[in-house]
Chains A and B, each alone.
Chain A
């Protein structure tokens, strides 16, 4: 079956070594199924109009922001597009949505709206029919994305590229308009050519870090009983039915064991004839498998960027700010140093340091039968909790220092002297700025704790003996500690 081919990479083989409860699932440990607990939630997400209803308001806001970005003040902190996207949205995304609600942003994201319509020619209803092995009538060319690009390398490079220019992106409304505008056009074009959410899966720059960090989330959509999926004749979640569209992300529920590539569109919940899909609350940092170098490198890139932004944007070093702010300063040599340093650290130096730690760990453990690649991939997960918490620590000052801008631009979204809610003139007033560090230090602590614990657990699983596991994980744990110390120095030192 065509549609199932794309899935392979998204999921592992069936779980082994699980206890034999009445129901087999990919979730181990404590969990609570929310659809059962809150029938209204289940009712809501199974309405055909659900996604339309949550996307459209977002889409309208999005357009309003783009208009403000084009016609409003060119000064970033006086324009709603900058304040709402790079302060409010970013803060909500990284501190709340991703850690507690997985990729729920993708449920409400306005970017693929037109693309979905091009493929479906329907906003609410579902069309039955047959397209490339799916049980839905789909429009557009429905081409397959090349196998060589069926990974997140493109996203890694695109994201790093975009972030190299972030000092311009987050301070100049027009740059933000260009980037978001191009994404919306690209998403629509790609939807016309390629099947489903190829854009989301392989191109969207936001998607890369959403996929990586959604692994940490306390929310997960999973099959409630894998045996039901195994016996299921229709596989409607994957190929669609008269109740729901085929999974736009190419997922078959019987194999979905991680959050990474599920956009929580809820189509499968509607289409599954066996009511076998659950939305689970579970402990944080539950998905722990990195499945390819592309994902490891995403983790390196995210951690490096958190450090780079903490230095460039939150640090006292004017010269680095000048380097990064090349559009105004025009120092291309300086920008070259900055960009080169960033790319080299993210793509080579940090991975090399990590690879060395893995290699030393294998030596210390005396287990040369454990392959370098296997241990490298497994342990590279430590940068996921660590990176997430570093990003959260980085993001707190954004809102605590500049939160009052939100009130300003609500009254004067374009920086044109309006005063809609009488909040335009509120003086810039940071909220307890001297205590930001007291929030950041514990967050970094938590990141280090989760990272070291995850590294050890993986090592224990591989070696079976605590003493050997400690040795295998020790160098990486020391690297984690050192990086955490460096972040502490930046934030509170």
Chain B
């Protein structure tokens, strides 16, 4: 959910919107925001599943330290989505395990 009105920060400034593809679904993101923010705004919480036990993981530290939020971005696995900004047309996929084949 976007925080549109805010008592201290004011209204959300108008920013350029970009389209990104998350697991095949089109999502509208704000230019410059991290991928994790865009997908959280769309209500998506699961970023990946762990290798052995297939446990779901989502954003934990939000500052690039824990690697819980990694996903496959434009085919590249293990991208820390909390510190990687969106760009027009990127594809983002939920990562299973190490994210290489056999999904």
Chain A bound to chain B = no
| Interface residues, chain B, with chain A CB atoms under 8 Å away | none
